[in-house]
Chain A
Amino acid sequence: MSEAVLTTINQAIFGYVLMAIIAALCAGIIRLIVILLARTQKAPPVVAPPLTVSVLPAADDPATIAAVIGAAVHATLGAPHRIVSFAEHQPPTANWAREMRSRHHTSHTPRR
């Protein structure tokens, strides 16, 4: 076997061993990251049991519906909000101009 081939075999083995060591080091770093960051993780939130909701409203009372929507708004948005109007849902295709304007106004938000 020629000198060049023997040199190449040595280079190949050296390169393979070096690659294996660095790859194992990467695996060790991964394990370390997972262990260290696991300590900073919050405990999983307690999940409330699912609510049973009837498909049809018990009574078609606009005042009750307004109160429920108001409570939902308060629960989700927190700060004081005022409901200006209720309207039936319109298909989005009918409001494409408004929708595009809204998308344009929020397009600089990096996270959707």
Chain B
Amino acid sequence: MFDIQFLDLFQGFATLVASEPSIIIGRIFLIFLGLLLIYLGQKGVLEALLMIPMGLGMAAVNAAVLFLPGGQTGTLFLDPLASGTDQVVNELQINWLQPIYTLTFSNGLIACLVFLGIGSLLDVGYVMQRPFRSIFLAICGELGTLVVFPMGVLMGLPVNEAAATATIGGADGPMVLFASLILAPEIFVPITVVGYLYLGLTYGGFPYLIKAMVPKHIRAIPMPPDTARPISASEKIVFAVVACVLLSFLFPVAAPLFFSLFLGVIVRESGLSYFYDLFSNQILYGATFFLGLTLGVLCEASTILNPKVLILLVIGVVALTISAIGGILGGYVLYWLSGGKYNPVIGIAAVSCVPTCAKIAQKVVGEANKNAIVLPHALGVSISGVITSAIFAAVLISMLRAAG
């Protein structure tokens, strides 16, 4: 008769019992948080495309901790702390998600692939029809990043981590991932997870903010019929090429992001439909799936439990809220300058999060006036928000790297 202990048989339970109390609580909390994310994603409260793989990854990885050779605990998903060529190559042959993490996360490839897909969905014609108004609102929508950067330092974060967290104010998930990988690689997981969680909440939360700041008779203002001429595909391509080269020249550190975004735009406008189908479907959704899944798997209790997470949770929500307020205030400026003809709700689209915030603007305006169509204006502002977020992130990265 062989002798076997219960805890040897069920290692997930054994590692839980053998852990410190904080890890035990953390693992159980994260398992339930993962299940909650799946539920909220399935119900449509949070973005299902990200939250379902992220939630299941988070729940499963915290359940599946086992004893590794040498008596340490870990998982067979991935080891984010693997360093050195030998250890990384060993882990690549053991952990099933290690290739995705090692080859697409640490070099920012996954963020660039998502940006490539987003670029192929963007119609820059909306920005080109009214560039100054769109860019002005987008600049106002970066107010959260401006305010939260020093606020993070005030709350005790090092300057690089505060800057990376502040990019949540730009409301672009891939941008937050890219900036935090460069500026604060040691806490990029909690920053990105917090960023994506809050971005998922914008659709439910921002309408309340708009209604609090804009009275119903102003929300109902219809935008005048558009008299701007349609922008041709050639003009969009010329803009994308010039902007890509110029911004890459100014900020080489963010050139992969600019390149990916504008390559997507050019593919869309040049009629290369095989590439367009590939980037806007398989690449975008494949990258989004692995982004969500890997971020969830990275939320293993012993890796993610960090006192800084609480600070990130606070300044993340402050960043997005102030950016939204800034966008609406910018909308009010245009409202006054136009003599009451511009609907200030369009300013919420400056928070970017393409195309969610543009859809929020149309939804809230549509509730106040069924005949008011603001979506083309809002989409122009939202796309401008992507551009200004990328510029601001590039400025912060360049500035902090130059400062050493």
Contact = CB atoms under 8 A, between A and B. Distances in A.
Interface in A19-36: 19-20, 22-24, 26-31, 33-34
SS class, residues of chain A in contact with chain B: helix
Interface string B366-399: 0000000000000000001001100110011001
B239 A33 contact: yes
Interface residues of A, number: 32
B135 A24 contact: yes
Contacts of B396: 15
A30 B239 contact: yes
Nearest to A13: B146
Nearest to A1: B154
A11 B162 CA distance: 12
B388 A111 contact: no
Interface in B1-15: none
Interface stretch (A2-10, A57-65, A94-102): A2-10
Contacts of B162: 8
B150 A19 contact: no
B231 interface: yes
A15 B135 contact: no
B131 A9 contact: no
A75 B247 CA distance: 48
Contacts of A11: 149, 159, 399-400, 403
A26 B387 contact: yes
A37 B145 CA distance: 35
Contacts of B135: 23-24, 26-27
A22 B273 contact: no
Contacts of B239: 29-30, 33
Interface string B149-164: 1100110000100100
B118 to A, nearest CB: 18
Contact of B399 (A15, A22, A24, A38): A15
A12 interface: yes
Given A15-B395, A110-B274, A22 B159 contact: no
Given A9-B150, A12-B146, A24-B135, A111 B271 contact: yes
Given A8-B159, A19-B139, A23-B391, A33 B242 contact: yes
Contacts of A15: 146, 149, 392, 395-396, 399
Interface of A: 1, 4-5, 7-9, 11-16, 18-20, 22-24, 26-31, 33-34, 37-38, 41, 110-112
Nearest first, the 7 closest Cβ-Cβ pairs linking A and B are: A30-B131, A27-B131, A27-B135, A8-B150, A12-B149, A19-B392, A8-B153
